[in-house]
Structure 1
């Protein structure tokens, strides 16, 4: 990032943190995509809290950014296993921020399996969680009881701009990887699983690239919405993928399970918008299918009489090319900062929450002042 851009971004975040100041000393544990623009956000989080740990998502790490961040903050390895076992999770949080007031900044519901134990037994206080993604929102919403506030920005209107551009970046990266092996997608049958904000943007972008698009969503309301946009819809995953030469998964909640892969047509390309463990149940296939790399970020899965291609090992395909969505990403980051500050003030009871409309409007106003010119 060039110096003028960095200064402009730092000024934007400074105005956000001045608008939403934290109350007293707090420590943050931050799960994040470690992309090239992320240090500016982390600098802003450091002005709001003490950063106890940065936990980069393994498949979205820019190595130069990693080196930069390691010089400034503690960086720890992240895996689902780290927080899947409540005892292990509690030990980690104690070692990292024992006795402190902490906020957990999450991307994908990593803290959800152990949250109740950590809240109950941690030597400090868990002030709350800020969740950034739809699949994480679903993980927290699915818990029997939330022992602390969880503020989700996944469905914020400030995220709509980012989601629209994420859809475009997903299609760009998918097309680039397919073209790299001498193939094209134009005029083919495509299937989009999930018609949320990102899935809708993907479907619209695919259609603009002259693909024939079928949509499936478990929610019949979303299927109606897809139908109203002129997309063919189906009532089952199997029917949706059967004729698709490209399948893009955007449900945030296991689009394809083990038995679904048999329905893929031979030669189909398969890509995801998020972590492979969140969208694709690939692990059980490893003992059934032969896996052969056939190009950059492209793996052929083959069993007698059946084969298909998985892009980017099933991870978010747009991270292959940096997942750039411009300055709109900073709207969501600003809301995360505001939510972190709100948790420090104790403004929310235990449960799942969103930020007030007035706070989002204030963030939008600051963003317009800095980036509309």
Structure 2
């Protein structure tokens, strides 16, 4: 990022933090992607709260960004197990933010399993959670009696701008990796599993490649939506993937399991738009399929008479090329800052919430002033 762009971004986040000031002395635990634009967001979060820990998503770390962030913030290793185990979660909180008021910034529902145990035993006070993704939203929505408020930006109108470009970046990276084997997307049968905001964006981004696109979603309403937008739909995942030469998984909720992999067409390419542990049950193939790395970010799985390829080791395929969506990512980051400030004021009851439209309009106005000139 060049100096003028850095200055513009700094000024943008300064206005956001002035528009949405936090109340009191709060700390934050931040799960995040460590991409090149992320230090500016973390610096703005440091003006809103004391950043007690940055927890990078394991498969979306740029080493130069990690080095830069470590100079100013404590960085900890992230895993699902860390917050799935109540004892481990409590130990982490007591070491990192003892007796503190804390806001949790999440990408993918990592904190969801530990909220109830922490409510009873943590020495500090959890003010709430800010969740960024659809799969994380689902995890919190399925939690019985949330003990804290959770502000989700997953369904925000501001995030729709990002979702559209994420779809394009996913298809770009998929195409680039398929080409490393001398293949192209054009003319193939493709399947998109999941027709939420990202799956919808992926399906539409595939259209210019002249593929035969089939959509499957377990929700019949979404299948109707896909059908109305000109996509072929099926009533089962098994039928959807049967003849697909490209399978893109966008459910955030374990799209493919062992029996699904076994039903893939020979030579099919499989890609995920989110974390591999959320989307692909690759662990079920251990001892059944031979796993061979055949190039950068491309893995072949084979057993006698059957083989297929997994892109980016099952992780979010767009992160292979930085997952860049331009300045639109700063809309969502601003909404996360605003949600953090809102939680510090203690106005939300336990349960799932979204920011009011007046806050989104204020963010959009500031963004237009800085990035739409």
TM-score (norm 2): 0.99
Cα distance in structure 2, aligned partners of 1:54 and 1:270: 31
How far is 1:121 from its partner? 1.2
Alignment gaps of 5+ in structure 1: none
Residue in structure 2 matched with residue 277 of structure 1 by the alignment: 277
How far is 1:197 from its partner? 1.2
Taking the TM superposition and a 5 Å limit, the aligned residue runs for 1:80-159 are 80-159=80-159
How far is 1:297 from its partner? 0.4
- Any idea what SS the aligned residue of 1:108 has? coil
Whether the 8 Å CA contact 2:171–2:202 is kept in 1: the answer is yes
How far is 1:208 from its partner? 1.3
- Any idea what SS the aligned residue of 2:286 has? helix
How far is 1:258 from its partner? 2.1
- Any idea what SS the aligned residue of 1:191 has? strand
Alignment gaps of 5+ in structure 2: none
Residue in structure 1 matched with residue 36 of structure 2 by the alignment: 36
How far is 1:207 from its partner? 1.2
Length, aligned pairs only = 373
Residue in structure 1 matched with residue 313 of structure 2 by the alignment: 313
Taking the TM superposition and a 5 Å limit, the aligned residue runs for 1:66-77 are 66-77=66-77
Residue in structure 1 matched with residue 331 of structure 2 by the alignment: 331
TM-score (norm 1): 0.99
RMSD: 0.6
Range with bigger deviation, 350-359 or 251-260 = 251-260
Cα distance in structure 2, aligned partners of 1:66 and 1:95: 22
Residue in structure 1 matched with residue 218 of structure 2 by the alignment: 218
Whether the 8 Å CA contact 2:300–2:309 is kept in 1: the answer is yes
Cα distance in structure 2, aligned partners of 1:135 and 1:54: 20
Residue in structure 1 matched with residue 340 of structure 2 by the alignment: 340
- Any idea what SS the aligned residue of 2:182 has? coil
Cα distance in structure 1, aligned partners of 2:120 and 2:358: 32
Residue in structure 2 matched with residue 21 of structure 1 by the alignment: 21
Residues 112-169 of structure 1: CA distance to partner in whole angstroms, max 9, x if unpaired? 1111111221101000000000000000001111000000001111000100000000
Range with bigger deviation, 286-295 or 97-106 = 286-295
Cα distance in structure 1, aligned partners of 2:207 and 2:26: 47
Cα distance in structure 2, aligned partners of 1:71 and 1:13: 20
Range with bigger deviation, 116-125 or 215-224 = 116-125
- Any idea what SS the aligned residue of 1:24 has? coil
- Any idea what SS the aligned residue of 1:287 has? coil
Cα distance in structure 1, aligned partners of 2:47 and 2:258: 45
